[in-house]
Amino acid sequence: MDVVNLAFVAAVLGSSAPVLYAALGGALCGRAGLFNMALEGQLLWGAFSAVTVSWWTGSAWAGVVAAVVTTTVFSGVLALGAVTWRADPIIVAVGMNLLALGLTGFLLRELLDATGTFAPAGLPGLPDLDLLDGVPVLGALLGGQTLLVPLALLLAVAASLWVNRTSVGLRLRGVGEHPEAATSLGVVVPRYQRATVLLAGALCGLGGAQLSLGDVTAFTENMTSGRGWVAVAAVMLAANRPLLVLGACLLFGAAEAWGFRLQGLGMPQQLTDAAPYLVTLVVLVASRLRVRRRLDEADPVAAVSAAHPEAVVHPEETR
Amino acid sequence: MSDLAGRLRPAATSALVPLGAVVVAILVGAGVMAAAGVDPLRGYDAMVRGALSVSNIDFAVASFTAILAMSLAFALPARMGEYNLGGDGQLALGGIAAAVIALHLPAPAALLLPVCLLAGALGGAALASVAAPLSTRAAVPVIISTLLLSAPAVALTSYLVRFPLAESGSSVPQTPRLPDAAHLPSFPGTSYTNAGLVVVLLVLLLAVHVDARTPVGYEIRVAGANRGFAAYGGLSVPRLTLGTLAAGGAAAGLAGAIIVMSQPFRFIDDALTAPGYTFAGIAAALLAGGRPALLPVTAALFTILTVGSAGMERDVDVPRQLGQVLQAVVILVLALRVLASRWTARRAADAAGRKG
Amino acid sequence: MTDRLPDVADPAAGAPPAAELRGITKRFGPVVAVDGVDLVLERGTVHAVVGENGAGKSTLMSVLYGLHRPDAGTVLRAGREVRLRSPLDAIAAGLGMVHQHFRLFGSLSVAENVVYRAEPGRRGIFDRRAAEQRVAELSDRIGLDVDPTARVDTLPLGVRQRVEILKALHREAEVLILDEPTAVLTPGEVDSLIAVVRTLAAQGTTVALVTHKVQEVLAATDRVTVLRDGAVTARLTTARTTAGEIVEAMIGRGLQPAVNPRGTVSSDPVLEVRDLRMAAAPGAARVRDVSITVRAGQVIGVAGVSGNGQREVVEAVLGLRPVQSGSVRLHGRDLAGLGVRERRALGIAYVPEDRPGMGSAATLSVADNLALGHHRSPPLAGRGRLSPRAVRSQATELVRRLGVRTAGVSAPLGSLSGGNAQKVVLARELHHEAPLLVVEQPTQGVDVGAGEEIHRLLLDHRARGGAVLLVSYEISELRALADRVLVMLDGAVTADLDAADATEEVLGAAMASARSAPRPEEGA
């Protein structure tokens, strides 16, 4: 394998990681039967809190811990609103995304005294991995990355094992698929939903930290710019399966990395920026068309309502 | 007697919840200002003056025009249960469409003005319409497809004003100034407020009429309440989805056209999306609930928040993003309206239990 | 404590019964669903709990399984009083229940479904192999053939039911309640279910079999308790009773519905379905060469176990589902290629089985629910406008005419009781004055009084010369309303009977007949 291709794969891994964290969280929520559309806001909050605490303490890892903790707290809004109080999860998510946008902008001014972008000299970022220097392929793949990049990949595998190979994972799969059946066997469905929502918050904290302390060392207003929504699309695309989520996110990362390459070849940035969203949407539509065709044959009557978000979580079980 | 009381109570609660949401938001804002070391009364005073003082009202009314149109962009598809979150892209595409026509069609104002507005509406409608077949044929939820379509649309307009449509010699990414024939006529004594307000109000009246008094409005409500029921009744859900999304996109595109056809009469990169009209519109639509006739009131409220927070930033140095925070609080409290209805239901059940 | 009459069974030497209900009363609002019922389930017996719909048998079993808390009475398990606050308490007490609607996870395997929340494994790791072995053991023990690794949603309903039984056995259930277990089964599956039930009893499991089918009672059970109107009308030993005795206890003497007065049947057919064929699809049954003719002033009933193609035929008539071949004609006009709207405009009204999902919108007002289909024509609409006042006044008139009980026409439909909501649907469809009315399960989930009114409305409609295609799973309903009864089995019409000949026995035999027409080659 030549170095150029490895560098490309490394770039893909790097730009996928934040989306992957968010999408893994979304997939676990989907497994519990809750469509988490507040990923964008949580990622943004994670990115902001990581930078702030990193600046205050002088330790990037303290920033990561703060991002995990505070984003988990923030996700409590969804856990409390949509699960405990059974409010419409979509509206709660819209409110949370806007809240994160406003609050990070507000606090950027109030706490860090910056407008637009905060990237002072001396803001500690996450160190690059040097453990694998000299190791053939792996060193080139992960050498320029932070620890959070391989961690994301490991977590995807771990999430898959957790869902498929543990008792709790089995119960989780049942909860989202048929809550009444799970309840009838003594599983407390809201408890699983709350737990996965909070877990998704922690994962979004990691993703946000990677975005603001790993990819770059800076916080910019609205710096997630839709990555959380790409994660939502990845969750749909993968039908909540963690390993497929990994695949979908790598695809997104590849589109972004290709965008950078095209920019290098003189393509305007505005157009290459659009590529990941369009690629995500096209792949999503293609995969849904297949599901839909099956559904149409099965039951044209039920297919009418299949486009609703509730039906999206488990496309196969709309009947 | 008790029947009347029974009918009044739900009406009272349904008005109470939005009011409560606003009150909670105001209190949260006061808390945030106090925490930032600003007297909340001074802060809110600055906010209201920032929107409504003599020198600011002109710009505020122009913003109101945009926010009202954006509230329609969300509210029309929401009538069917579809969430259009792609307002930014529709707004930008509408603005660029109007700018292109204005810059390239030499025509007198009487012709150019309606054509430009129409082009803007078509631009927004075209983008929003894409989400309809994606939803009805490919089962991709509108809320996701509109968002994913929005970012590329905004990027496209950004590219256009930097390269093919850029004003030569300018360092700002913007189009040249539109010809005079494409300037919406202002009211006497105003420079921002113009005929665009009248156009949007007419569109609102049309929407209210269609919603309440036409068979199509009824069908949209039926489809929003239960797709299966609509299909059973022979209504075409795909066509209604397409129609409401196109109408919503057209409202957003119209807003974009009105903005570029007002002061300073150009499409400036970011100028349409940066003020946050889309989310102010969403918040206004959610606050109005299922009553389009209330949109002017709620849109006015969020105009004060949006425009006034800039004044607040100038006068008392509270970051303008507080406006967004307050909008978010309103939305979150509205999401919890189910609590209020559950509470009243329980009280009603208790009352019935005591009687029985 | 034991001053009550012993059940007909002589108690097995000394051992207390596996389960016992004493003086159970359960009310829902003003309705007394179960009124002071005693029931003794002897260990190792199969005990039939029979009665017509609404007799209280499901409520009684729900009390036994902890789903409902009784207003009075006690539940004993192996001689000891137990307080069942939820099904979880019931499971812990060694009770198991197989519901009519299965509670299975379609995307999980059989083994995963069986062991769910009682998984084998160590330190949280799910031991899939142990689970599969456990399922294999259990199914061996009762002579079932179930593949533990199969995904549940790929399995036929009969096998899914076995998964439910295995679920209960895995949880060491000693008393197994089967609620209407044969409603979804093919005749062959019914036979093997009966074999399983007998095996279970022989191994010491106690089975309560809830049913309204007399043949099953005779074939599968040891004891019979018959309920009517929430009270016990007979306690019988199966070996010493007859079908006649059971039916009499179920429906009471002289309550046989009088054969209804016939309308004048004209000779012109309103609906002609000819040689209809539809392919099977996931979630949809196949239809094989079905022909049905409905004339003005006639009610044609379609009987059969749910899922034998009735719904698919109805959806083909309405234009909701495409057909493979065959024709649907209304007044001689071929409806091929027409959508739902056009067909309804030509004169088809439809009361669907799925009322909340299809026939109404719970969040819309009663008035809005009554307007659908009428909303583009006078008096409600004219010149592109819809008059809210006309919508309300028409609704007020319909509500009055059909005696719908509601707080007002602006109340949301969801606030109405099941019977009143069904009357709203019926009112809307009758108001079309359409030549053809298609009705599915008109009295499902409706209390007895409202059910009778609905029957009267349908008969009135026929008397005015309307044609009605009635799909029902209730034999008594078909006998009360239909002029002719067709029986559907596996997508084909297997019997066409005059209402007078359509006795319970004849229909039951036709619905369950294993000697149906030879299976044609699978359609492409």
Closest CB to A165: pick one of C105, C126, C284: C126
Domain edges within chain C? 19-251, 259-347+434-515, 360-433
Chain B residues whose beta carbon lies within 8 Å of the beta carbon of residue C375: 215, 218-219
Higher-scoring residue by pLDDT: C446, C26: C26
Higher-scoring residue by pLDDT: C504, B161: B161
**Cα–Cα nearest to B276, from B312, B318, B322:** B322
Residue A319, pLDDT above cutoff 90: no
Q: Which residue of C has its CA nearest to A317?
A: C106
Measure the N-to-C terminal CA separation of chain A; round to a whole number of Å: 48
pTM (2 d.p.): 0.87
C-alpha B108 chain-centroid distance: 31
Q: Which of B136, B143, B287, B302 to mutate to test the interface with A (most CBs of A within 10 A)?
A: B143
When pLDDT is averaged across residues B99-106 and rounded to a whole number, the result is 95
User: What is the bridge-based pairing of β-strands C231-237 and C223-228?
Assistant: antiparallel
CA dist., res. B319 & res. B33, Å (int): 10
CA dist., res. C253 & res. C233, Å (int): 12
Distance from CA of C134 to the nearest CA of B (A): 40
Domain edges within chain B? 60-294
CA dist., res. C452 & res. C8, Å (int): 35
Backbone angles phi, psi at B48, to 5 degrees: -65, -40
CB C123 within 8 A of CB C99: no
Residue A314, pLDDT above cutoff 50: no
Residue C50, pLDDT above cutoff 70: yes
Adjacent-strand bridge partners of C470: C301, C439
Residue with tokens 């149906």: C516
Interhelix angle B322-335/B2-35, rounded to 10 degrees, is 150
Distance from CA of B225 to the nearest CA of C (A): 6
Domain C19-251 in this protein, CATH class: alpha beta
> Mind listing the pLDDT tens digit for each residue in C396-405?
999 988 888 8
Least confident stretch, A50-59, C14-23, C49-58, C118-127: C49-58
Q: Which residue of A has its CA nearest to B132?
A: A307
B233 at the C interface (CB within 8 A)? Answer: yes
**Cα–Cα nearest to A230, from A9, A13, A22:** A22
- 3-class SS at A166? strand
**What pLDDT score does C40 carry?**
95
Higher-scoring residue by pLDDT: C419, C179: C179
CA dist., res. C461 & res. C472, Å (int): 18
**What pLDDT score does A310 carry?**
41
> Mind listing the pLDDT tens digit for each residue in A69-124?
999 999 999 999 999 998 989 999 999 999 999 999 999 999 999 989 999 999 99
Chain C residues whose beta carbon lies within 8 Å of the beta carbon of residue A184: 87, 103
CB pairs < 8 Å spanning A and C: 82
CA dist., res. B352 & res. B347, Å (int): 9
**What pLDDT score does C521 carry?**
36
CB A79 within 8 A of CB A179: no
- Cβ of B213 within 8 Å of Cβ of C387? The answer is yes
User: What is the bridge-based pairing of β-strands C381-382 and C325-330?
Assistant: unpaired
- 3-class SS at A257? helix
CB A78 within 8 A of CB A60: no
Provide the pLDDT confidence category of residue A304 given band limits of 50, 70 and 90: very low
> Mind listing the pLDDT tens digit for each residue in B172-209?
899 999 999 999 999 988 889 999 999 999 999 999 99
CA dist., res. C169 & res. C192, Å (int): 17
Residue C106, pLDDT above cutoff 70: yes
Residue A311, pLDDT above cutoff 60: no
| Alpha-helical segments (H) within A1-135 | 3-31, 39-57, 60-78, 89-112
- Cβ of B232 within 8 Å of Cβ of C362? The answer is no
Q: What percent of chain C has pLDDT over 70?
A: 89
**What pLDDT score does C520 carry?**
37
Provide the pLDDT confidence category of residue A318 given band limits of 50, 70 and 90: very low
**What pLDDT score does A141 carry?**
77
Residue B303, pLDDT above cutoff 90: yes
User: What is the bridge-based pairing of β-strands C19-28 and C31-41?
Assistant: antiparallel
When pLDDT is averaged across residues B210-239 and rounded to a whole number, the result is 93
Chain A residues whose beta carbon lies within 8 Å of the beta carbon of residue C107: 173, 177, 314, 316-317
The set of chains that have 3 or more CB pairs under 8 A with A is B, C
Adjacent-strand bridge partners of C496: C486
- Cβ of C116 within 8 Å of Cβ of A180? The answer is no
**Angle at CA C359, nearest 5°, toward C357 and C364?**
85
Distance from CA of A76 to the nearest CA of B (A): 13
Provide the pLDDT confidence category of residue C265 given band limits of 50, 70 and 90: low
Distances (CA, A) of A91 to A307, A309, B336, C151: 17, 12, 9, 35
B108 at the C interface (CB within 8 A)? Answer: no
| Contacting residues for A104 by C-beta, under 8 A, at least 6 apart | A44, A45, A47, A48, A219, A221, B321
Least confident stretch, B100-104, C14-18, C390-394: C14-18
**Cα–Cα nearest to B151, from A36, A284, A94, A278:** A278
- Cβ of C105 within 8 Å of Cβ of A181? The answer is yes
CB C469 within 8 A of CB C483: no
**What pLDDT score does B13 carry?**
56
Higher-scoring residue by pLDDT: A32, A288: A32
Least confident stretch, C68-72, C414-418, C515-519: C515-519
**What pLDDT score does C524 carry?**
32
Adjacent-strand bridge partners of A117: A220
- Cβ of C108 within 8 Å of Cβ of A174? The answer is yes
Q: Which residue of A has its CA nearest to C285?
A: A298
- Cβ of C320 within 8 Å of Cβ of B228? The answer is no
User: What is the bridge-based pairing of β-strands C484-489 and C299-303?
Assistant: parallel
**What pLDDT score does B6 carry?**
46
Closest CB to C105: pick one of A174, A186, A298: A174
Provide the pLDDT confidence category of residue C491 given band limits of 50, 70 and 90: confident
C104 at the A interface (CB within 8 A)? Answer: yes
CB C115 within 8 A of CB C170: yes
Higher-scoring residue by pLDDT: B314, A292: B314
CB pairs < 8 Å spanning B and C: 72
Least confident stretch, A158-162, B72-76, B257-261, C506-510: C506-510
Residue A2, pLDDT above cutoff 60: no
Residue C373: half-sphere exposure toward Cβ, Cα within 13 Å: 31
Residue B221, pLDDT above cutoff 80: yes
Provide the pLDDT confidence category of residue B324 given band limits of 50, 70 and 90: very high
Q: Which helix (H) or strand (E) holds C422?
A: helix C418-430
Q: Which residue of C has its CA nearest to A188?
A: C117
CA dist., res. C60 & res. A91, Å (int): 42
- Cβ of C340 within 8 Å of Cβ of B234? The answer is yes
Least confident stretch, B57-71, B320-334, C43-57, C64-78: C43-57
What superfamily in CATH does domain C259-347+434-515 come from? P-loop containing nucleotide triphosphate hydrolases (3.40.50.300)
Q: Which of C65, C67, C103, C112 to mutate to test the interface with A (most CBs of A within 10 A)?
A: C103
Mean of per-residue pLDDT scores for chain A: 87
C338 at the B interface (CB within 8 A)? Answer: no
When pLDDT is averaged across residues B8-17 and rounded to a whole number, the result is 59
CB B175 within 8 A of CB B110: no
Q: Which of B24, B145, B148, B331 to mutate to test the interface with A (most CBs of A within 10 A)?
A: B148
- Cβ of A270 within 8 Å of Cβ of B162? The answer is yes
Enter the tokens of residue B267. Answer: 């499409």
- How many C-beta neighbours within 10 Å does residue A110 have? 18
**Angle at CA C229, nearest 5°, toward C227 and C235?**
20
- Cβ of C105 within 8 Å of Cβ of A178? The answer is yes
- Cβ of A177 within 8 Å of Cβ of C105? The answer is yes
When pLDDT is averaged across residues A275-279 and rounded to a whole number, the result is 87
Q: Is the dihedral of CA A285, A286, A290, A296 positive or negative?
A: positive
- Cβ of A167 within 8 Å of Cβ of C121? The answer is yes
C129 at the A interface (CB within 8 A)? Answer: no
When pLDDT is averaged across residues C323-327 and rounded to a whole number, the result is 90
**Cα–Cα nearest to C403, from C457, C338, C458:** C457
Chain A residues whose beta carbon lies within 8 Å of the beta carbon of residue C125: 165-167
Residue A150, pLDDT above cutoff 50: yes
**What pLDDT score does C513 carry?**
53
Residue B181: half-sphere exposure toward Cβ, Cα within 13 Å: 15
CA dist., res. B206 & res. C326, Å (int): 47
Enter the tokens of residue C111. Answer: 């083994």
Enter the tokens of residue B128. Answer: 């929003």
Interhelix angle B322-335/B277-288, rounded to 10 degrees, is 30
**What pLDDT score does C282 carry?**
62
CA dist., res. B95 & res. B89, Å (int): 10
**What pLDDT score does C262 carry?**
58
CA dist., res. C205 & res. C176, Å (int): 7
Distance from CA of A169 to the nearest CA of B (A): 27
CB C466 within 8 A of CB C265: no
> Mind listing the pLDDT tens digit for each residue in A178-234?
999 999 998 999 999 999 999 999 999 999 999 999 989 999 999 998 899 999 999
- Cβ of A229 within 8 Å of Cβ of B148? The answer is yes
Q: Which of C340, C389, C406 to mutate to test the interface with B (most CBs of B within 10 A)?
A: C340
- Cβ of A289 within 8 Å of Cβ of B137? The answer is yes
The set of chains that have 3 or more CB pairs under 8 A with C is A, B
Chain C residues whose beta carbon lies within 8 Å of the beta carbon of residue B233: 340, 344, 372-373
Mean of per-residue pLDDT scores for chain B: 89
CB B222 within 8 A of CB B310: no
CA dist., res. A158 & res. A160, Å (int): 5
When pLDDT is averaged across residues C11-20 and rounded to a whole number, the result is 75
Residue with tokens 């679920």: C167
Determine if residue C514 is left, alpha or beta; phi over 0 gives left, psi from -120 to 50 gives alpha, anything else beta.
Answer: alpha
Higher-scoring residue by pLDDT: C117, C248: C117
Which DSSP letter does residue A81 get? I
A292 at the C interface (CB within 8 A)? Answer: no
> Mind listing the pLDDT tens digit for each residue in A57-68?
999 999 999 999
CA dist., res. C430 & res. C347, Å (int): 11
Residue A267, pLDDT above cutoff 90: no
Distance from CA of B210 to the nearest CA of C (A): 9
Enter the tokens of residue C63. Answer: 């009390």
CA dist., res. A177 & res. A27, Å (int): 13
CB B283 within 8 A of CB B331: yes
Enter the tokens of residue C45. Answer: 């017996």
Q: Which residue of B has its CA nearest to C363?
A: B225
Residues 35 to 64 of B: which have CB under 8 A from any C CB?
A: none
Residue C424, pLDDT above cutoff 70: yes
Chain B residues whose beta carbon lies within 8 Å of the beta carbon of residue A90: 83, 143
Residue A16, pLDDT above cutoff 90: yes
